[in-house]
């Protein structure tokens, strides 16, 4: 039903990709790291390889924070040089890196451009959402970024009168959820594609556990397309400046679910 959008990789877009910017930052950090190493060497106290690697990661992390990339990129930048050093020290076979890369590619897929990492929700959230659903039969529910499919499958089992679906762009979680539903005879339906290609007017409830980076655009799409009475639910992430119509607590100390009624 849904497919990935027509997204052309132009040079300007390439330079805006978070992964590309992070790589450029890491490469750019080599120069100040080399400069610091030269200063230490001139002072008669050469840096060890480990110290140089840690310095490289720290400079890259600070530059990543400065250019405004998402917080998780800072951790990646800090640990990336150290991980390379560890891999060289352990003399890991090159094929292992290829396997890890392919697994991560299938799992995270377009995270490099969407800035939406894998965020799994949990049963307490599913039950909280279930308690707020309208009682009428034939309710149409979509989980945007459905991951391993737990949320959609829970609602499909709890509300057999409803049409529960999930949409996921990454192929590995999509295939897992699709076959999981089939093997357990669960009625949840899973679509591989980009939610931007969906029309939210086809659904009564849209649930999302995505990322602050995309929530404003998600709200605008829901406001533009959803029918009167439609519900947009976001776990953990608010959508400023839009005040939610309802806030649902899940478990003590856990983030709530925010609900907007259109």
Write out pLDDT tens, residues 189-204: 999 988 888 999 999 9
- The whole-number pLDDT of residue 3 equals 38
Domain assignment present for 70: yes
What the block records as the tokens of 179 is 């076959």
Distance, CA of 219 to CA of 221 (rounded, Å): 5
Q: What are phi and psi of 164, to 5 degrees?
A: -105, 130
Give the residue numbers spanning the domain of 155: 123-261
User: Is 178's pLDDT higher than 50?
Assistant: yes
State whether 83 and 167 are in the same domain: no
Contact between 82 and 57 (Cβ < 8 Å): yes
Closest listed residue to residue 205, CA positions, set 155, 169, 254, 256: 155
Together in a domain, 138 and 248: yes
Reading the block at residue 174, the tokens are: 């999509």
Q: Is 71's pLDDT higher than 70?
A: yes
Count of domains observed in the chain: 2
pLDDT of residue 185: 95
pLDDT at 219: 94
Higher pLDDT, 87 or 179: 179
Distance of alpha carbon 107 from its chain centroid, rounded?
Answer: 10
Number of other CB atoms surrounding residue 249 within 10 Å:
12
Same domain, 132 and 236: yes
- Whether 230 is in a domain gets the answer yes
Look at residue 106 and tell me whether its pLDDT is greater than 60. Answer: no
Give me the CATH number covering residue 127: 3.40.50.150
Under DSSP, the state recorded for 257 is: E
Co-location of 127 and 243 in the same domain = yes
Same domain, 19 and 76: yes
Judge whether 144 lies within some domain: yes
- Tell me which DSSP letter residue 226 carries: P
**Domain contains 145:** yes
Residue 220 Cα distances to 214, 224, 244, angstroms: 10, 6, 14
Judge if 222 and 130 occupy the same domain.
yes
Q: Are residues 29 and 131 in the same domain?
A: no
Decide if pLDDT at 65 tops 50: yes
Portion of the chain with pLDDT greater than 70, in percent: 82
Helix (H) or strand (E) holding 6: none
Whether 25 maps to a domain, the answer reads: yes
- Residue 135 CB-half CA count within 13 A: 0
- Percent of the residues in the chain that have a pLDDT greater than 90, as a whole number: 45
Tally Cβ neighbours within 10 Å of residue 114.
Answer: 18
Do 80 and 60 form a contact (C-beta atoms < 8 A)?
yes
What is d(CA 236, CA 215) in angstroms, rounded to the nearest whole number? Answer: 11
State the pLDDT confidence band at 61, using cuts at 50, 70 and 90: very high
Cα separation of the two ends of the chain: 25
The answer to which of 76-90, 174-188, 219-233, 235-249 has the lowest mean pLDDT is 76-90
107 part of a folded domain: no
Give the relative orientation of helices 150-158 and 171-183 as an angle to the nearest 10 degrees.
30
Q: Is the residue at 45 inside a domain? A: yes
Together in a domain, 73 and 149: no
């Amino acid at each position: 039903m849904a497919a990935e959008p027509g997204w052309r990789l132009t040079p300007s877009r390439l330079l805006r990709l978070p992964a590309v910017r992070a790589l450029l930052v890491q490469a750019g950090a080599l120069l100040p790291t080399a400069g610091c190493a030269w200063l230490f060497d001139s002072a008669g106290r050469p840096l060890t390889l480990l110290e140089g690697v840690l310095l490289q990661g720290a400079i890259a992390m600070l530059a990543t924070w400065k250019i405004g990339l998402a917080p998780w990129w800072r951790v990646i930048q800090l640990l990336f040089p150290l991980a390379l050093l560890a891999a060289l020290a352990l003399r890991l076979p090159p094929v292992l890196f290829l396997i890890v890369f392919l697994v991560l590619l299938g799992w995270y897929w377009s995270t490099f451009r969407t800035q939406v990492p894998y965020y799994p929700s949990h049963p307490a959230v599913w039950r909280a959402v279930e308690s707020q659903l309208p009682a009428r039969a034939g309710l149409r529910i979509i989980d945007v970024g459905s991951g391993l499919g737990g949320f959609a499958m829970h609602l499909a089992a709890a509300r057999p009168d409803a049409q529960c679906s999930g949409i996921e762009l990454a192929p590995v979680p999509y295939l897992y959820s699709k076959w999981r539903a089939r093997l357990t005879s669960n009625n949840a339906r899973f679509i591989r594609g980009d939610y931007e290609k969906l029309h939210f007017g086809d659904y009564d409830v849209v649930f999302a556990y995505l990322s602050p980076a995309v929530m404003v655009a998600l709200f605008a799409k829901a406001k533009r397309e959803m029918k009167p009475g439609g519900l947009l639910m976001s776990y953990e992430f608010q959508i400023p400046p839009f005040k939610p119509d309802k806030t649902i607590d899940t478990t003590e100390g856990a983030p709530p679910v925010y609900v907007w009624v259109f």
